[in-house]
A and B are shown apart, each in its own frame.
Chain A
Amino acid sequence: MSRIMKVRDLMVPVEEYPVIYENVAVAEAISELRSSFHEKDGTWYGFQSLLVLDRKDRLVGILTLRSLLKAFKIQALYDHLLKGDPSGLMFIKPFSNSLEITVKDIMRPLKLVTVQQNSSILEAVQIICRKKVNSLPVMDRNRLVGIVRTMDLFWSVGELMES
């Protein structure tokens, strides 16, 4: 028996996902992600990523925990550039202040890695493995309709095997 499961059967619909604007500072993004993803009684639960909107409320990216690691990298680069360079002092305010790193600098752009909602689960798994991501935007042609995660796919594969 074949069981025809599509990506849209497993995804989290876009309406249920928390969002953030691309021009928001890293510190604010952190606190947004904290409120959606938090620890209670010793276990973590919630969403590990946020959808990113531009000024016109269009979806432009996805902000994951890994994206936040990039903020450390940018910060280290700024620190390195400014170290021991007197002329760097002129730019120290805009660059050395970590508030200046915004969501846009560290997010994963939406068009980079996506899957169509009618794709099979197999295709989604392949993309996740090949592109090394854990949250995969699901599209209906050009429109974002949801997010499917490694965890959702893993669960479904496990169910198939045990049935």
Chain B
Amino acid sequence: MNSVKTAEDIMVSIGDYGTIPETATVFEAIKALRQSFHRDGKAWYGHRTVVVLDSRGKLTGILTLRGLLRAAGFRELDEDKGLKAESWGWYYTSQLREEMGIKVRDIMRPIELATVKSDTPVTEVAQALLRYGVNSLPVFRANELVGIVRTLDVFMVIDEYFK
């Protein structure tokens, strides 16, 4: 039998993540995230999440790719029946610029919403990721945020569980 690995064994330490202040705009967040990617042919690599800090430097949220896309005014567009698909590019960019006032704080996923403990076994981490419908979960040791565990991290050790 394999030894039981826990969230803490596979997580990415919190210090390894890029950060962004709560008060940054959506536009700034998109730019920041874009800078952490690289393109290699058709394959992408780089960090896909940034962590959000309040004015005291405390970690308060997670900002993901999908969260950013959703936040950028698409919900409103969705309900605009008059919008023709062909003009979306123009409409979207002007819409986004109008919504520059939206801050990261308004669209981030708050840290407390879905978490796991540092000693949670990998099998339960996997099920928590499914249950919450997310690809990353903050890891707490007692009351301290120590890292983020991702679907990717589970994938890295998954062959120890299915042989």
Chain B interface, DSSP helix/strand/loop, else mixed: helix
B127 contacts A by Cβ under 8 Å: yes
Hey, what's the 0/1 contact readout for A58-94 against B, CB within 8 Å counting as 1? 0000000110111111011000000000000000000
B126 contacts A120, C-beta separation under 8 Å: no
Q: B159's contact among A34, A37, A129, by CB below 8 Å, is which?
A: A34
Provide the bound-state CA to CA distance between A46 and B96, in Å: 31
Residues of A within 8 A of B46 (CB): 43
Cα distance, A70 to B158, chains bound together (Å): 12
Taking chain A's interface residues, is the majority helix, strand, or loop, or is none over half, making it mixed? helix
Q: Which residue of B lies closest to A46 (CB)?
A: B43
Which residue from B44, B86, B154, B158 sits with its C-beta under 8 Å from A151? B44
How many whole Å from B40's CB to the nearest CB in chain A? 5
Q: Contact between B123 and A76 (Cβ–Cβ < 8 Å)? A: yes
Contact B127 A72, beta carbon cutoff 8 Å: yes
A161 in contact with B93 (CB, 8 Å): yes
Do the beta carbons of B162 and A154 come within 8 Å of each other?
no
Cβ of A98 under 8 Å from chain B: yes
Nearest CB of B to A153, in Å: 7
